[in-house]
A and B are shown apart, each in its own frame.
Chain A
């Protein structure tokens, strides 16, 4: 295609402007974390003191624990549900699928109030379950939808051939479909991890005593605790963002594909 020279220069200028806009706030937080100030030593020492003073080491491990529980449970349930919805015919499948779609649209705010009070009544607040299960449920809504799409697109011939060879549905799923569907599963795992890691409202509400305070929460509550420790706060922010950003940089295709194709497109 022919593109004139001034047009191409213009294009580069526009791209650079927007790239700068996207990166500027990230650079601000990085430089704040690394620059020495009255309250922080600067450089990597700031990260070390955020790790100990802000107890970010502790909060990051809580985050990791919650993420592992949510991701494994949600992925497993999503694969099973998606398999049923995508490859089997049964009464009520349309309704079940519609319910999952509904779940994709329900904002956390709409369920968090009764969730807290009902779980409190059961004595489950301030436990891992109160923080994890609402997020598992929300991830299943997306996961079932996502895996169903994959199973529906899976080669029919392969499934039929395996069935003719006498493979049970379970074998078809675990020995044939899941291995071929590794990219789809990877995307699901990454997205679920990202949502869980970045979630704010659920851990804020479900663990009022801070027993299961995750890293993003610790960051928001860090402000009042350490006066004017901008450097430490920035370092904490970097620590909180880092795991997901690193995964993204290595596996960005999965992130982008999942977020684009996973958008409800019925």
Chain B
């Protein structure tokens, strides 16, 4: 091709630039970010006429899917005039697709939006979610939920402050991150539950004991980066101040990552790698493959969230148990955990009344019973609904204990819109021994500081 033709193409490309229309974001039909003057809300669902309610959730794993299916059927039986159109995707896919869907023309009415700043925070700031205060008054949700739980899905109107302001979502379940263990694997190393849960030191000593016996102490599948957040979080909880962790995790101003306690936590995690406590190549192992391997006896411990309990019990029966990481002497119990993803109502939904009724229905005391029956951990009435046996008995107990006498620490990746990717990659670097604990903290501090300004 001749040079003149190339130059011609370049010229055309440049000319096309001059044609570009209005600035991005102008004329988009997004809300103003202000809480609109609440119109009269109605709680009489039967009088709303024929409605189709579109609900997006990520309750795809066995027991989660079952509870959602049952509750949706029960809701439609109770209100024949309302049809639930359910769209269910995995957690990762929902994170990816929600942003586009919410701003689109046919946004769903109800969405499960992660509490994090990158999801709920960004949506609140853009005025895409409806504040639920008026419905909370009408339905009495403030009595149903503990204030600390509602705080986890509360934001100021402009989305800048996390943890106070208006309620934007209602969770169904509680989540606690802790240690799944295999009774038989502990026994093989000459250990039992009592000897490893006395204190944090007992637990870390048990890792060495298991390693010396020729077995693998810890299973981790960190190919996607985020699973390690659930390992680092509980470790950090044993060293750092819970209040400081909450500030960092919620991306509110006034915290810093650069503390000795945080460095100790990072060094501990890296030390576990250096001591060979993990399976081979956690960074190359798939999350689902890791827990499947653990259920087949690949390691003694799996530090992970309570949401795996049902699947692990199905695979391991009564060999699997669970405990919250024991605290060092003189400290309170502390571990990562929160509520399940809160259900929120989109700002442009024409069916806000029906949507709020649906939220009320799936978080009611009856719903909590169904959640417990299907192996999920209800966020309310947890202790009363605990099963008599099995791993969920341990899980419910741990959640109850941490929420009443200890500290439930928010997920660290909630902090900023980019923190999930930042901390995921930084933890892979730390585990892959590509960075020192100090460098790891610098990376997190840079992300956090850039956000809080």
Contacts and interface: CB of A to CB of B under 8 A. Distances in A.
Interface residues of A, number: 26
B9 A208 contact: no
Contacts of B159: none
Contacts of B288: 223-224, 227-228
A117 B24 contact: yes
Contacts of A242: none
Contact of A102 (B12, B27, B96, B311): B12
B101 interface: yes
Interface of A: 94-95, 98-99, 101-102, 114, 116-117, 120-121, 123-126, 205, 208-210, 221, 223-225, 227-228, 266
Contacts of A116: 100
B180 to A, nearest CB: 15
A209 B12 contact: no
B28 A101 contact: no
B104 A209 contact: yes
Contacts of A114: 24
Contacts of A221: 89-90, 93
A125 B8 contact: no
25 contacts: A94-B8, A98-B5, A98-B9, A98-B12, A99-B9, A99-B12, A102-B9, A114-B24, A117-B28, A120-B28, A121-B27, A121-B28, A123-B105, A125-B100, A126-B101, A126-B105, A208-B101, A208-B104, A209-B56, A209-B101, A209-B108, A224-B90, A224-B92, A225-B60, A225-B90
A125 B104 contact: yes
Given A95-B8, A120-B105, A228-B292, 19 more contacts: A95-B12, A99-B12, A102-B9, A120-B103, A121-B27, A121-B28, A123-B105, A126-B105, A205-B100, A208-B97, A209-B97, A209-B101, A209-B104, A209-B108, A221-B89, A221-B90, A224-B90, A228-B289, A266-B1
A123 B29 CA distance: 10
B106 A126 contact: yes
A50 B96 CA distance: 24
Contact of A126 (B27, B56, B104): B104
Nearest to A264: B1
Contacts of B311: 227
A36 B27 CA distance: 55
Nearest to A204: B96
A125 B97 CA distance: 12
B331 interface: no
A126 B103 CA distance: 12
A178 B222 CA distance: 56
B92 A123 contact: no
Contacts of A224: 60, 90-93, 288
Nearest to B292: A228
B87 interface: yes
A227 B292 contact: yes
B13 interface: yes
A117 B28 CA distance: 9
Nearest to B60: A225
